[in-house]
Structure 1
Amino acid sequence: MCFGYAVAQTPIQGIVFDTQTKQRISQVYVYNTANDAGGYNNTRGEFTIAASPGDILIAAAKGYHADTLVVSEKRIVLFNMERSTRWIDEVSVVARRSPEERLLENKRAYSTAYSKGDAGSIFSVGPTGAGVSIDALYKLISREGKNSRRLQEIIEHDYRETVIDYRFTPDLVSSVTGLRGETLVDFMRQYRPSYYFVLSANDYNLAFYIRSSLVRYRQNPAALRLPPFPSAEPR
């Protein structure tokens, strides 16, 4: 997965690891503060981003503390992220917010980004007839508009992940599989369902998916586990 490129900068490859488990982490947003390039890594924890030596990269992911590094002369960078939360066997949740409530909250908190990032219709109709909306064009091509739309994409991505988390919970998976602790974490990471499956699946479908995945997991616990990076040492 490639991100935006800047003039006089070269593509830097990287991988994101969990500090405790040493496993790769996906769904991580990587951002270059020097050129505003950014985006999510792929399902193998890998990313490519335009950067130069001295640029500062930031990695952020749900459930982890943000990590920062300075690009060196090497063409490969490695993030090692610390979890901000810990998985325990029993969790009591009070007044859990729905994905829709969280999305509305984010939209209210970042309302400026939505107003600046929404270009609206490029064509306008006025007293002299139809024409091109200069304001809409400006929002499409301006750096402010691009950054606002990037923030919108992050918020929408967070919403989709929250929808999955809302139904594919540790309590549910543990009750269906009997798994606990790090084994539960490993299983849920490897067999996390897609957003579109969760939208269409009822409770029976979801439980059936979990049980079917458990059979495959027990046959080969590492079948979908992201492999370690072989050619470089984590910093």
Structure 2
Amino acid sequence: MLILCTTASILYGQQQLQGHVYGKDSLALASVSIQNKSTGYGTISSPSGYFELTAHNGDTLLLSAVGYVSMLRIVTKDHLRGQMRLYLKQQVFELNTFQIEQRNHKKDSLATREEYDRIFNYRLPKVGEVIAIMPVGIAVNINQLYKLLSFKKNRDKFRFKDRLIQHEREAYVDHRYTPEVVERWTGLRGDSLAEFIRLYRPSYQFLANAPEYDLLYFIKTAYKQYSDSLQRLAH
């Protein structure tokens, strides 16, 4: 009985999520990785773009495929009742700069904020929003009280909010600290350039308040440290 109760509590709320993944011109995408970030399990889309994955309301899916922009999506009750339809944006490349179209970081950030507006602005209700003292007694807002007491749902939403903010900050760092900028001031290329960017990556907190001069100073200082370390290894 104890084993059955434990198993039932683990599986409670989990359902088999079904869906299709599409790309350019709404064509089905095969071999797309769909990972449930909340459970750690994942699957791959079939040649028709179809996939099945165990999930429950509020889980976060991460979709990724070669040549396409990765995407995060929250599972809702509507998705579990029907079939999920997901569309990935294609990445376009060229030989000299690796990207034909320059990504507009501000536009992308605003689009993400708009798409996940309810998550970014999610907060717990204040006491005055739950309980109101009136001349005839105390009034309780049932909806706000339910929201306040939904501990697991609140925890999941705050975790996803933190992940979105972290993703947004990493995108900002990538927007300013680009391989083109580093190559221009260091002359590094290929594997050396990739290694330098990996080893000397500025933080979001620094770049959020740093003008271009400070970024240039950071790159030059880091390049001197990088060159000195290579010379020590050579000897």
**TM-score for both structures, normalised by structure 1:** 0.51
Gaps of 5+ in 1: 1-6, 9-29, 36-57, 67-83, 224-235
Q: Does 1:126 align with 2:138?
A: no
Gaps of 5+ in 2: 1-8, 11-35, 42-60, 72-90
Compared CA separation, residues 141 and 195, structure 1 to 2 (3 A): farther
Paired residues of 1:89 and 1:180 also in contact (CA < 8 A): no
The equivalent of 1:139 in structure 2 is: 147
The equivalent of 1:170 in structure 2 is: 179
The equivalent of 1:109 in structure 2 is: 115
CA distance, structure 1, for counterparts of residue 159 and residue 184 of structure 2: 38
How many aligned positions are there?
A: 154
Paired residues of 1:176 and 1:211 also in contact (CA < 8 A): yes
SS at match of 1:118: coil
CA distance, structure 2, for counterparts of residue 201 and residue 34 of structure 1: 37
Paired residues of 2:92 and 2:101 also in contact (CA < 8 A): no
- The one-letter amino acid paired with 2:147 is K
The equivalent of 1:96 in structure 2 is: 103
CA distance, structure 1, for counterparts of residue 222 and residue 116 of structure 2: 38
**Offset at 1:126?**
3.4
Q: Does 1:151 align with 2:160?
A: yes
CA distance, structure 1, for counterparts of residue 171 and residue 70 of structure 2: 18
Using CA pairs under 8 Å that are at least 6 residues apart, name the structure with larger relative contact order, 1 or 2. Answer: 1
Compared CA separation, residues 104 and 34, structure 1 to 2 (3 A): same
Q: Please list the CA deviations of residues 139-196 of structure 1 after superposition, one character each: whole Å capped at 9, or x if unmatched.
A: 3442223222222111111111111111111100010101111211110111100111
Q: Please list the CA deviations of residues 81-124 of structure 1 after superposition, one character each: whole Å capped at 9, or x if unmatched.
A: xxx999x763445242224x323212322345456x42232333
The equivalent of 2:50 in structure 1 is: none
Compared CA separation, residues 94 and 145, structure 1 to 2 (3 A): same
Paired residues of 1:174 and 1:184 also in contact (CA < 8 A): yes
Equivalent of 2:208, from 199, 216, 226? 199
SS at match of 1:182: helix
Paired residues of 2:92 and 2:99 also in contact (CA < 8 A): no
CA distance, structure 2, for counterparts of residue 157 and residue 206 of structure 1: 21
CA distance, structure 2, for counterparts of residue 212 and residue 200 of structure 1: 18
CA distance, structure 1, for counterparts of residue 215 and residue 118 of structure 2: 37
Q: Does 1:189 align with 2:198?
A: yes
CA distance, structure 2, for counterparts of residue 90 and residue 108 of structure 1: 30
CA distance, structure 1, for counterparts of residue 40 and residue 219 of structure 2: 43
Paired residues of 1:31 and 1:59 also in contact (CA < 8 A): yes
Q: Which is helix-richer, 1 or 2?
A: 2
Alignment of 1:1-235 (within 5 A): 31=37, 33=39, 90-99=97-106, 101-114=107-120, 117-124=122-129, 126=132, 128=134, 135-142=143-150, 143-221=152-230
**TM-score for both structures, normalised by structure 2:** 0.51
Q: Between Structure 1 and Structure 2, whose CA radius of gyration is higher?
A: 2
